[in-house]
Amino acid sequence: MVKHCVILVAGRNSRLDTGKPKSLLEINGVSLLERHIQLFSKEGCDNFCIVTGHNPEPIKEKVEELKKRYEVAINIAHNDRYDLENGFSISVVQNWVKSINSEGFFLTMGDHVFDSLFISSFQKDITKRDGKEALCLAVDTPSELNRHIDIEDVTKVLIQETGYIEQIGKGIAKFNRYDTGLFYMKPDVFESLNKCFAQGKYTISDLVTSLIQEYNATTIDVTGYLWNDVDNHSDLDITRKLYS
């Protein structure tokens, strides 16, 4: 069972600027950040690391509140270079991962929303796996079930029949899955991240692409479960309706 979870909340919220971090926006009276703590802790995660960046103070205040409400450890790692892409935010948790001697951790974004069954399905399949890949991504098959997903903005994935990732990116022409924004990563990813940074590449897709070449990036299919990426006001309205 995976017991550690990293949540990235470092972005500027340029497309959904309400004056506070997106992860503190609420769905049914519960902030997106608390929803993550709530659902992942139910699946056995008892140690979280929140990566802050732009406007960190409201996040810090919320974390103190959540520490009193949930019987889990919640740590904060700050990314001073939040002007870079989201892959750099992963690098700032390296010392935390090392300090807790983690063999692997979940990683997701603070502005994503998942159904509880989505997370439990991914947790169950990760626990059953004996794979040695450094990265495993939860993917969804494009269908009527996820027609609410913003096709222009979602990261697309082309996977092989074996589940290995062949190509990833928002602009790829050929794809058969969506990137849902939930990953399982092993500490090996930090070495790959440093190689990407040395080439001036800072996105999570850059990390995945570097691992593809080594057959070190695979997938688990979570088709049929509800999820969304809250990037703008339209996404927020849709998500609130989906979970109303």
Percent of the chain at pLDDT > 90 equals 91
At 45-103, the pLDDT tens digits run: 999 999 999 999 999 999 999 999 999 999 999 999 999 999 999 999 999 999 999 99
Q: What is the pTM of this model?
A: 0.96
- Averaged pLDDT of the chain: 95
Q: Is residue 13 scored above 70 in pLDDT? A: no
Specify whether the CB–CB gap between 216 and 5 falls below 8 A: no
Give me the CATH code for the 4-242 domain, please.
3.90.550.10
- What distance lies between CA 169 and its chain's CA centroid? 15
Evaluate if residue 17 carries a pLDDT over 80: no
Measured CA to CA, the distance from residue 158 to residue 142 in angstroms comes to 12
Query: How is residue 191 written in tokens?
Result: 């070495």
pLDDT digits (tens, 9 = 90+) for 91-127: 999 999 999 999 999 999 999 999 999 999 999 999 9
For the chain, which residues make up each domain, given as ranges? 4-242
Per-residue pLDDT tens digits for 172-228: 999 999 999 999 999 999 999 999 999 999 999 999 999 998 999 999 999 999 999
